[in-house]
């Protein structure tokens, strides 16, 4: 089962949660048949969203906070959604 997630923030807690998802990926799949896929992160300047999932390792390499979200968006040709963050078309759980 794939569980899609949108995180609120990419500071200390959000970044550490992403690291934990990466580290626990194999054991979660084997033991619980569960995969977490971060499809979005809400930052100060908007929502970074990609329904295919974000590349967490690359995102972590860009630093922290809204600056990292902006860099990721530019590098991956995505936009930061500034309004209507969740309008019914986003299929994910929000943390």
3-state SS string over 31-52?
A: HHCCEEEEEEEEECCEEEECCC
At residue 92 the predicted structure's pLDDT band, cuts being 50, 70 and 90, is confident
- Give backbone dihedrals phi and psi of 8, rounded to 5 degrees, phi first: -105, 100
Q: What is the largest CA-CA distance in the chain?
A: 39
Please tell me the distance from the alpha carbon of residue 29 to that of residue 26, in angstroms, as a whole number.
Answer: 5
26: CB partners within 8 A, 6+ apart: none
Confidence of residue 95 (pLDDT cuts 50, 70, 90): low
pTM: 0.86
CB 46 within 8 A of CB 82: yes
């Amino acid at each position: 089962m794939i569980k899609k997630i949108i995180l609120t923030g990419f500071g200390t807690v959000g970044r550490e949660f992403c690291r934990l998802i990466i580290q626990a990926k194999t054991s979660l799949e084997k033991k619980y048949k569960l995969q977490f896929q971060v499809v979005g992160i809400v930052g100060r300047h908007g929502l970074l969203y990609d329904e295919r999932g974000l590349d967490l390792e690359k995102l972590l390499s860009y630093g922290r906070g809204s600056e990292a979200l902006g860099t990721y968006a530019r590098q991956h040709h995505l936009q930061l959604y500034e309004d209507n963050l969740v309008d019914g078309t986003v299929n994910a759980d929000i943390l």
